Amino acid sequence: MRNQILKRVTVILVLTLALSSVISSFVLMRNMLNENIDFMTQAIGVVDYSLNGGQPLEEQVRRMHDFGMREDTRITVIDRNGTVLADSDMDNVGTMENHLERREIREALESGSGYATRYSESLGKHLLYVARLSADQTKVIRISIPYNNFLEYMIVLLPLLTVGLAVALIIGVAVAARFSNRLAADEMKRQMEQMEKDRKIRQDFFGNASHELKTPITSIRGYAELLCQDFAQDEATRKDFLNRILKETEHMTGLIDDILMISRLESKDAEVTLSRVQMKAVLREVLESLEPQASSCQVELLGECGDIALQASVQQMRELLLNLISNGIKYNRPGGHVWTVIRQDAEAIYMEVTDDGVGIDPEDQARVFERFFRVDKGRSRKMGGTGLGLSIVKHIAAYYGGSVSLESEPGKGSRFRVEIPLSGINKVDNPAVSRYTNS
Ligand code: ADP
């Protein structure tokens, strides 16, 4: 990760610096050009003002150049027809070609002033030409100076730009290296904390599981001892003890099943058989299996589900509904109801289990999804609860990339809502999972 950060920072730095160098050079060059043009236009004004009819024009131009200007500057005077009248660099202006087609001359004749940059074959360099119509409008005066074009300008600037780039790169990479070192240390710390958290959760889980298993075992042992010691005098008492033993073993079986379910859901490489699951059929089956428990508690079960299918483990879907609906029965009162509604839209499948039972205090609402957490331990145990049901629901929802939420009001009832997004592994037409299907 560290090397990747460094690589990216270096690439970004080099690109940014190179681009900003090119842009700033271009802007600087344009500024310099404009300043030169301004300055040369002013100089032409001075030349124009100084020219007089007294002496030959060529002599005046040469003198002005020799006294007041740099060696590589050139002054040319052209008449309105393009004929060169005088040139500081040429003795025989008569041999010079007509200048009417030169861009700067044309512009000066049209609008009063103009400029152009051109490569001069005779001098072997680029020149900047600035021309201006004289005050009496009879001639155009032009000054030219050597001028670097953008590429030449870049070549001159290149050593400086390279030094700048290298310094920025060294600083940038050093800062990035420090930053990525810190990130790596933070990541390591986070991983260690997560490992410690996982270890604690596992430890708590084993502690709780052993404790939960101990209760029925103690009870079974107690009744078995009583039976052995012939404490049960009559047949009815003996049968009652045996029934209690049976009930405790059922509870133990339920607990072990739940523990196994959780550990399977947690181990990522556990084999899960996915198939096209028709939720309507699963709901019907779950409601039927819970009917005896519901009628003994005098709770009415109601269900509603359209033709909804998803790619899932049928066992997990059954377990999810079973846990939620049986909770609705267990934590209810005679005359209560449990409504189950399964809906679907373009994004997800929603399973809502609502009851008008005892409800859950706000401070306990987040905790009910914790393993072995029970609001009323006695009631849960009496109803065959293990304290793992909602934790299993949460795990199953998470397995499909979904979530479970809860709204509840004490004394009024609760609503559990599972949302499973229709994307990834659970989309029925997902080709990635079709090879695991057994439908
Ligand atoms: P249990 O096996 O004890 O039912 P769960 O994990 O399914 O374990 O639920 C945890 C606790 O949350 C329960 O012991 C109960 O106190 C509370 N609970 C769960 N569902 C409901 C509900 N529908 N109404 C009221 N309380 C509930």
Identify the residue whose C-alpha is closest to ligand 1 atom 3.
387
- Please state the pTM of the whole predicted model: 0.60
Q: Is the CB of residue 386 below 6 angstroms from any atom belonging to ligand 1?
A: yes
Q: How many Å lie between the centroid of ligand 1 and the Cα of residue 200?
A: 24
> Which of 259, 299, 323, 380 to mutate for ligand 1's pocket (most ligand atoms within 8 Å of CB)?
380
Ligand 1 atom nearest 369 alpha carbon? 6
Q: Is the CB of residue 356 below 6 angstroms from any atom belonging to ligand 1?
A: no
Q: Is the CB of residue 332 below 6 angstroms from any atom belonging to ligand 1?
A: no
Q: pLDDT tens across 208-218, in order? A: 889 889 989 99
Q: How many Å lie between the centroid of ligand 1 and the Cα of residue 398?
A: 19
pLDDT at 273: 86
pLDDT at 165: 83
Q: Is the CB of residue 157 below 6 angstroms from any atom belonging to ligand 1?
A: no
Q: Say how many C-beta atoms besides its own lie within 10 A of residue 430's C-beta.
A: 16
pLDDT at 53: 77
- Degrees to nearest 5, angle at CA 335 with 331 and 340: 60
Place of tokens 């009628």: 295
Q: How many Å lie between the centroid of ligand 1 and the Cα of residue 358?
A: 10
pLDDT at 429: 55
Q: Is the CB of residue 331 below 6 angstroms from any atom belonging to ligand 1?
A: yes
Identify the residue whose C-alpha is closest to ligand 1 atom 8.
387
pLDDT at 426: 63
pLDDT at 297: 95
pLDDT at 28: 86
Q: Is the CB of residue 340 below 6 angstroms from any atom belonging to ligand 1?
A: no
Distance (Å, whole) CA 140 – CA 44: 10
- CB neighbours of 373 closer than 8 A, spacing ≥ 6? 364, 367, 387
Distance (Å, whole) CA 100 – CA 82: 4
Nearest to 358, CA basis, from 295, 414, 298:
414
Identify the residue whose C-alpha is closest to ligand 1 atom 21.
327
- CB neighbours of 137 closer than 8 A, spacing ≥ 6? none
Identify the residue whose C-alpha is closest to ligand 1 atom 11.
374
- Degrees to nearest 5, angle at CA 39 with 36 and 41: 105
Identify the residue whose C-alpha is closest to ligand 1 atom 2.
385
Q: Which two tokens stand for residue 368?
A: 């009910």
* Residues of the chain falling short of pLDDT 70: 1, 122, 268-270, 424-439
pLDDT at 433: 40
Distance (Å, whole) CA 177 – CA 172: 8
- CB neighbours of 325 closer than 8 A, spacing ≥ 6? 286, 287, 290, 301, 338, 340, 353
> Which of 333, 374, 376, 416 to mutate for ligand 1's pocket (most ligand atoms within 8 Å of CB)?
374
Q: Is the CB of residue 148 below 6 angstroms from any atom belonging to ligand 1?
A: no
Asked if 21 and 156 touch (Cβ cutoff 8 Å), the reply is no
